[in-house]
Structures are given as C-alpha cells and as structure tokens.
C-alpha cells in the first residue's frame, strides 16, 4: 500500500462518468457547488380537475366535507381545498406509486405486511368512487353520494368505517380509511399543495407554519406564540397589493 | 464484463457516518481512498435549504430523502411458517440513501450504551442465573468493552459538538446528568440544549417521583461550535424539522457538517455517487477481497480493485451484500448454524400521549429539535433489579417531543371519532395543550433464534437479485418490558398534570406498516467466536481479513438507546485497529 501524504488540491472536480444516461459523478477536490442549484417545491395551479372526472370531484368534495365539516370559524374539507389536494396528488407521483415496489406477484397477506394491491392510489380511488356512487344510486333512489343529505352521508360513511356497508368491487372500509388520511393530510400540509387554503388549518390549531427560528421562544414557557402562520410560499399580505 | 478502474488502497462502500469517519481516518494515514455511494450527493444549500425544508408532506410523508423501495426493498413476515411479502412502501423503518446516509435525516440523539450492555450475556447470567433468560434468546457479549470504546465515543461527540450534561465524569457522579452512564473522560463539548415547557414539566414530575431526569444528549447544537477538523456548526434554532429532514441551518451534526468539507479537499480521497456496489469481489481462495463491482445509474458495471474493503452501508444492505458476495456462511435458524443474518433486531418503542387543560397549558409543540428532551434512565439495561419482573432489558423514557408538525402531531383523546365535527373540534382544542413524545419509551430488543435475515425465494430487485427477507416478531420478553416501561412513563405524564393519559403500548405482532425507528441491527454481528459471529472485535471479517464491516449490523442485540453513538464509536475503534495494527501486518487481527 502507498503511504504518501499528499497536499490538498485547490478547486473542485465533479466529473460525469462515461455512460450516456448515467447521473453518476466523481466528487473530489472540494465541495461540489453550483449557483442557484436546488429543488424547490412546485406549487399546484388552480383550475379544472387533473385526475378526477367532474362526478368524482364532486364526490370527493362531499367526502372531504364529511371528514372535516365546515364550522363558523374554519372552513370544511371542500372549501379548504382538500379535494384539489387529493386530485393533484393522484395526478402526480403519489397516484402512480412512483418509487414504490410494484413488482408481482401480488398476494394477500396479513395486515402487518401492508398493502399488497396491484392498484395504486389513483386506480383505487377511481374504482371505489364508482362503487360508492353505484351503491348510493341503488340504495337512495338514484342519487349519487354527493347528492345525499348530510345525515345520510354520515350514516353511510359510518357503515363503511365499521365494515357494515359493503361496496361492490371495492374495499369500502379500506377506501374510507385512505380517504380520511388523504383529506387530513391535505388539510394540514403546506398550502402550496392545494389544501389548507389560506392556512386555515394552521390558524385553527395555532401552528405558525414554515418558520425556522424559535430561539427566542424556547424558554418562554406557557405563552401563546404571537405570530400568524406562514407558508413556504410566504403569505398573501406579504405581496404588494396592486 | 465490468470496466476496470485503477486500483486504490481502500474502497469504501457507502458514504454515510461510518464511511465518512473511515475515509477521514484512512486518508489521514496517507492511503488513497475511494468511496462509492448508491444515492446522490446531498448538501444543505441544494437539497434542504431553510426556505423550503419545513415541508412535512414532501419529506416525512412522501420520504423524499430516503431510499425508494423500487430501488431496493425487503420482504417481511412475522414467523418462519408464513410467506414473506414485499414492503412496497416504507412503514416501520425508512432506510437512508445518498451521501451522508442516515446522518442527514437522524434526530441526532447521541447516546452511549451502558458498560453492562457490552457483556450482556455474562452480566445477566451472573446476576440472575442462566435459567432466567428465555431459552431461544441468543444474546451474546460483544467482544469489546465500554472501556475499549470510551475514547472513541469521546472522539465522535467532539466531532459532532454534542450538547449534553455529563452524569459520570471519570467515576464521579455529576448533578443534572445521567447517573447511570459509564464514566466519561471529559464533559460534553457543548452544554445541553434549552428545554421547552413540556420538557421542564416532565423533569419536575420525574424528580418529584424520585427519578433523576437529565437532558438527552443532542447533536443539534446549543451553541456555535468548531470541531477538531476545523469545521463550524451553528446553534440550533429549534425549528422542529429535524428527524426525517435535513438541517438547512448547519446546526445538526452530520457527515455534511462535520467531515465532508475537509475530506473532499484531500487529494487522496474521491467519491462516486449514484453508484451501487453489487458485489465484493474475492480471489480464488475466497478469503481475500480484490475490490468491488458496482453499477451506475446508466446500468454500466465497473470494477474497482482495492487492497482493503470497508463495508459501511446501512445494516440491511451490509448483510445483503455479504449474502450476495458469498462471504460467510448464511444463517440457518433450523440447524442453528451459520452467521450471516443471525441476531437480527430492531427496537421496542411505545409512547404515551398526555392531554392537558387548554386553559392552563400551552406547550407550543412546534418549538423543538430532533434530540431535545428530558429523560430518565432508571429503567434502562440492567439499571434496576429485573428479578421480580420476569423479563430482561429496558430503555430510557422521556419527554422527547421533536416537533409539532401538524399532519402527524394532531393527536386527539382516546375515544374521539377519527373524522367529522367531533374530530375537528378535538384537534382544535388539543393541539397546543397535548404532550406527544416523538420518542417516549425507547426499549431494547434482544436477539432470538427465529428473528433473522436471509434471501427471499420469490421476490427480486430491479437487477434481478433476490430481495432480503426479514423474519421478525416481538417476543414475550420485549412485550413485558414494554408494558412495564410504558406504565412507568405514564405515571410521570400523569404527574405532570394531564387530565387524560393515552398509553400506546407496543403490541405484537411486529407491524411493518407503522413507523417505529430506523434502528435495525445485527445480521453481521461481532463476537469472539467465528461460529456465532461474522466479524471479530475489530469489525474484521473472520472469512475475509481485508474486509471490515461497519454499522449496527455488528450489534449482537440492541440496547435501549439510539444506536448512532455506538455505531460511530465502533467505526473509530476499527479505524484505530487498522491504523495501529492491520496496516503494519495485513491479516487477521484475532486468530480464531
């Protein structure tokens, strides 16, 4: 083995390896650095559904309002954007299960082994929403889920949760559990993803959002933190009004 | 045929904590070192700057900084007679990926194990008799002692600038520290972090109950610090985005903040990212490694010859690479023979949520750091008499509230519906006045004959290799331990003044879908006997002496602490053996 001590090199070398489609690099000579590098999040754009059909969108908005009903202080799941959040998530990598292990065979396992479905979230929503509307139409004189009374909706969802209501062609209990998780994630995630519009959820609970320094507040015990929430994209009142 | 690269003195597989430590130590020795890393280059200004790192959905829920299961995952089952199925999305643990490894996303809870942990079987047998241990429990002594490792624990803490209060300085017990810890040669390099309200309340309640609470040792620094390599860290700002996130503030000890800026300026070091080592190459004797073969993201195979191979990937990938390379006899639980895959362990975690009157208590749970906390150690390891309780092991318990990120920290009192107006009102009324420890009960997980790793017969990875199969379940000993610790912890939370206490016991069977910790251990364990260990006390392979295997895969069983302090101390210990002994006379450092 060589036992030489060598001097530090000045400058940085980042060499891309030979293969045409490889991202691999050789790093030596110092920390790699390029100006303005980074991978900031991309805020959703408002507008029509990207994944849902109009009827699916209506059903998910109705579901979102059951899971998080509006009250005089805080909007519900629909007006806080939770259905938009889910639509954009299903249209993106999450809906396609990008990065997840989706090789066959797909076998049914124990609950501890986790989801083993051949379908990803996007396909599961499509199937379950169709099954939900079909169930409602046969049970409630041709009405779709979104058109039921609030009381009927809650009773139906309670039945799904307790596995008393069975949908044809979809696991209603699993779907509703999944919808609760997605709606609540949308409600509490940064508004850049489409839910938590105007940071309504963060205002409701007293969470100050994407701040980065509480050094002066660690030892101010049992005092309410006074500043309003802020999103990764800032706040509406930070932008000059035109 | 792989393309052959020029030979190096040392090839390091994986540039996380242990890879970075070894690279720095061995380049200091003058060796020409290359590190090969499966994931991408990562640094704070590019990947996790403070203007967008506070994104719970992106980093915690969607796992942006972690390995993607389509790159590599595992199959899982509880029992040997079940069919293992693939972990399709991460649940009970999340393997790291990229330069810095787990050091990027860790909480930075920087513990030392107890002196008795390293001689566990001898210690317990002597105190309680061999028959006190369950018959199928396969715990072992490590072959290394706390005293051997003390200087190396110290080296890592001073590298990191760890913030804490010493409890035992050269044998003298110190007020305010952990009185149960092994003797340390000097104080922590920086004082303990400041504590938020709920943590001080926990400490007071614990003291009133007769315990000795102390601040958790933290790699999120209480003040600015310059480490022995001349690298600077800034004070933590308590942003509450620490574990599962990268620190944009240079306040969390990581390879990025404590080693890499210096290492990358050395002319005898280079790294390759986005390159996955698929095999450690052996010569015809099968007892000498000639280097490694890796594949880059373009699918091109390369051969990197080297005199010395350091395997420093994550626990599971160390074991997998040994199996794929045919190094060491695979473990067979039926015959109780073989070594690679044996003594696989995790951690026994649970928590207790405390709900308080929101007119009297406001905890501002979002003011936090990954390793902030007030803990007690009365119920860890063998710090208490296990005789009356009928189990062995233990853990620390503490109010370690590491953030108030609202997707995961909006807990509601037991009995609240999961949705609807009642749920919404409960979330609103409880968020600021609830104690929700990120780490509450952090218990040991001892090893058993039927908890192990091997290769799956059915499922394959993207390169066509068999996935590794985890067979793991909780045994009665750990469930008893957890019930005991959770009850003790709940008493303290109750004494803080909670009106409702929700005890979230760890229950069997082991569930791969619910996050516990990423502290998976064992599978390539260290020891004194080559028939029951893969590596010797210097982390040197018994079978291939020019291969050293770092990481928690070396743990014969897991203690009731977070593993990184011990993982790093073992790396420094191995580096000292390579520098002081191996390089002078390359060959086995221990003769079996």
- Chain-wide mean pLDDT for chain A? 90
Q: Which of A66, A184, A211 sits opposite B239 (nearest CB)?
A: A211
User: How many residues appear in chain B?
Assistant: 592
The catalytic position among B105, B346, B411, B519 is: B519
- Asked if B39 contacts B33 with a C-beta cutoff of 8 angstroms, the reply is no
Q: From chain A, pick out residues whose CB is under 8 angstroms from the CB of B69.
A: 99-101
pLDDT for res A16:
58
pLDDT at A123: 96
A141 to chain B nearest CA, in Å?
A: 25
Whether residue A11 is predicted with pLDDT greater than 70 in this model: the reply is: no
Q: How far is B2 from chain A (nearest CA, A)?
A: 13
What pLDDT is attached to residue A22?
A: 72
Cα of B120 vs its chain's centroid, Å: 19
3-state secondary structure of B326: coil
* B194/A contact by beta carbon, under 8 A: yes
Nearest chain B residue to A5, by CA: B30
pLDDT value, residue A201: 98
pLDDT over 90 at A44, yes or no: yes
The whole-number average pLDDT for the span A71-75 is: 98
* pLDDT tens, residue by residue, B376-399: 999 999 999 999 999 999 999 999
Residue A5 has pLDDT above 50, yes or no: no
Asked whether the predicted pLDDT for residue A242 surpasses 80, the reply is: no
CB atoms within 10 A of CB B69: 24
pLDDT more than 90, % of chain A: 80
Q: What is the reported pLDDT for B24? A: 98
Alpha-carbon distance of B401 to A42, in angstroms, equals 30
How far B118 CA lies from chain A's nearest CA (Å)?
Answer: 32
Question: Is residue A235 pLDDT above 90, yes or no?
Answer: no
* Prediction pTM value: 0.96
The C-alpha atoms of residue B18 and residue B41 are separated, in whole angstroms, by 16
Average pLDDT over residues A198-213: 96
> Residue A3 has what pLDDT?
37
Q: State CA A132 to chain mean position distance.
A: 22
User: CA B452 to CA B328: how far, in whole Å?
Assistant: 15
Domain residue ranges in chain A: 54-103+114-204
pLDDT band for position A37 (cuts 50, 70, 90): confident
The shortest CB-CB distance from B419 to any of A37, A180, A202 is to A180
Cβ–Cβ gap B271/A32 under 8 Å:
no
Distance CA A155, CA A81 (A): 24
Please report which confidence band the pLDDT of residue A241 belongs to, taking 50, 70 and 90 as the band edges. low
Q: Which residues of A touch B513 (CB under 8 A)?
A: 111-114
Report the relative pairing of strands B289-296 and B275-282 from DSSP bridges: antiparallel
Report the chain B residue with the minimal C-alpha distance to residue A119: B88
Q: What is the pLDDT of residues B331-378, one digit of tens each?
A: 999 999 999 999 999 999 999 999 999 999 999 999 999 999 999 999
Lookup result for tokens 């982390």: B539
3-state secondary structure chain A: CCCCCCCECCCCEEEECCCCCCCCEEEECCCCCCCCCCCCCCCCCCCCCCCCCHHHHHHHHHHHHHHCCCCCCCCCCCCCCHHHHHHHHHHCHHHHCCCCCCCCCCCCCCHHHCCCCCCCHHHHHHHHHHHHHHHHHHHCCCCCHHHCCHHHHHHHHHHHHCCCCCCCCCCHHHHHHHHHHHHHHHHHCCHHHCCCHHHHHHHHHCCCECCCCCCCCCCCCCCCCCCCCEECCECHHHCCCC
Report the alpha-carbon distance of residue B372 to residue B354 in Å, rounded: 18
With cut-offs at 50, 70 and 90, classify the pLDDT of residue A10.
very low
Residues of chain B with pLDDT under 70: none
DSSP string, B553-579: GG-SSB-SS-SHHHHHHHHHHHHHHII
- C-alpha to C-alpha distance for B114 and B146, rounded to whole angstroms: 7
Which domains are assigned to chain B? 3-73+81-582 (3.50.50.60)
Whether pLDDT at A177 is above 50: yes
Cα separation, B219 vs A71, whole angstroms: 43
Residues 469-488 of B with CB under 8 A from A: none
Active site residue B519: yes
């Amino acid at each position: 083995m060589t036992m030489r001590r060598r001097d530090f090199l000045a400058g940085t070398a980042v060499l891309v390896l030979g293969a045409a489609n490889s991202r691999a690099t050789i790093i030596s000579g110092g920390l790699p650095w390029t100006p303005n590098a980074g991978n900031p999040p991309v805020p959703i754009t408002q507008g029509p559904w990207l994944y849902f059909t109009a009827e699916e969108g209506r059903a998910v908005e109705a579901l979102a309002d059951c899971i998080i009903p509006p009250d005089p202080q805080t909007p519900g799941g629909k007006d806080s954007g939770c259905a938009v959040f889910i639509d954009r998530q299903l249209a993106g990598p999450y809906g396609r299960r990008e990065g997840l292990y989706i090789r066959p065979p797909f076998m049914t396992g124990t609950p501890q082994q986790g989801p083993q479905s051949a379908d990803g979230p996007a396909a599961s929503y499509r199937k379950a929403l169709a099954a939900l509307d079909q169930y409602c139409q046969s049970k409630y004189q041709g009405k779709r889920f979104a058109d039921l009374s609030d009381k009927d909706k809650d009773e139906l969802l309670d039945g799904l949760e307790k596995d008393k209501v069975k949908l044809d062609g979809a696991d209603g209990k699993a779907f509703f559990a999944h919808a609760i998780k997605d709606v609540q994630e949308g409600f509490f995630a940064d508004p850049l993803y489409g839910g938590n519009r105007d940071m309504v959820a963060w205002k409701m609970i007293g969470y100050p959002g994407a701040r980065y320094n509480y050094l002066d507040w660690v030892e101010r015990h049992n005092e309410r933190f006074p500043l309003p929430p802020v999103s990764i994209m800032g706040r509406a009142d930070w932008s000059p009004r035109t | 045929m792989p393309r052959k690269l020029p030979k190096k003195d040392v090839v390091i597989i994986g540039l996380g904590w242990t890879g970075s430590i070894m690279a720095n130590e061995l380049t200091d020795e003058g060796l020409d070192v290359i590190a090969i890393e499966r994931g991408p280059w990562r640094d704070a200004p590019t990947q996790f700057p403070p203007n967008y790192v506070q994104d719970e959905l992106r980093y915690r829920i969607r796992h942006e900084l972690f390995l993607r299961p389509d790159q590599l995952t595992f199959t899982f089952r509880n029992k040997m007679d079940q069919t293992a199925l693939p972990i399709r999305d991460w649940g009970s643990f999340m393997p790291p990926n990229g330069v810095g490894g787990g050091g990027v996303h860790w909480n930075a809870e920087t513990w030392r194990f107890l002196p008795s942990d390293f001689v566990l079987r001898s210690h317990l047998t002597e105190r309680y008799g061999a028959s006190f241990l369950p018959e199928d429990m396969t715990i072992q002594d490590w072959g290394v002692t706390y005293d051997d490792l003390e200087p190396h624990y110290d080296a890592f803490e001073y590298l990191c600038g760890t913030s804490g209060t010493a409890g035992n300085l050269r044998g003298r017990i110190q007020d305010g520290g952990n009185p149960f810890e092994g003797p340390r040669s000097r104080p922590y390099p920086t004082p303990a972090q400041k504590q938020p309200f709920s943590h001080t309340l926990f400490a007071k309640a614990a003291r009133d109950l007769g315990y000795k609470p102390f601040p958790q040792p933290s790699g999120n620094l209480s003040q600015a610090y310059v480490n022995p390599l001349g690298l600077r860290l800034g004070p933590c700002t308590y942003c509450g985005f620490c574990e599962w996130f990268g620190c944009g503030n240079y306040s969390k000890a990581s390879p990025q903040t404590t080693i890499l800026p210096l290492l990358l300026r050395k002319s005898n070091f280079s790294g390759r990212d986005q390159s996955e080592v698929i095999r450690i190459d052996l010569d015809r004797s099968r007892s000498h490694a000639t280097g490694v073969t890796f594949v880059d993201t373009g699918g091109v195979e390369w051969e990197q010859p080297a005199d010395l191979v350091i395997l420093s990937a994550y626990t599971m990938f160390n074991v997998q690479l040994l199996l794929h390379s045919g190094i060491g006899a695979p473990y067979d639980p039926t015959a109780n023979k073989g070594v690679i895959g044996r003594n696989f362990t995790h951690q026994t975690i649970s928590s207790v949520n405390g709900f308080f009157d929101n007119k009297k208590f406001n905890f501002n749970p979002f003011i936090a750091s990954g390793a902030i906390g007030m803990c007690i150690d009365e119920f860890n390891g063998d710090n208490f008499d296990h005789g009356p309780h009928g189990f062995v092991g233990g853990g620390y318990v503490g109010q370690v509230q590491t953030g108030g990120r609202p997707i995961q920290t909006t807990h509601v009192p037991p009995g609240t519906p999961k949705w609807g107006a009642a749920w919404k009102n409960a979330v609103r009324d409880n968020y600021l006045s609830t104690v929700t420890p990120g780490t509450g009960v952090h218990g040991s997980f001892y090893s058993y004959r039927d908890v192990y790793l091997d290769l799956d017969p059915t499922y394959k990875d993207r390169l066509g290799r068999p996935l590794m199969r985890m067979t793991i379940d909780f045994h009665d000993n750990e469930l008893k331990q957890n019930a005991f610790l959770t009850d003790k912890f709940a008493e303290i939370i109750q004494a803080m003044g909670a009106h409702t206490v929700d005890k979230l016991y760890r229950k069997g069977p082991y569930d791969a879908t619910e996050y516990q910790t990423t502290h998976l251990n064992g599978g390539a364990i260290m020891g004194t006997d080559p028939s029951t260990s893969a590596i010797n006390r210097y982390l040197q392979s018994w079978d291939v002496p020019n291969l050293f295997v770092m990481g928690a895969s070396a743990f014969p069983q897991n203690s009731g602490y977070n593993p990184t302090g011990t993982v790093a101390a073992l790396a420094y210990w191995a580096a000292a053996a390579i520098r002081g002994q191996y390089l002078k006379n390359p060959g086995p450092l221990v003769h079996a």
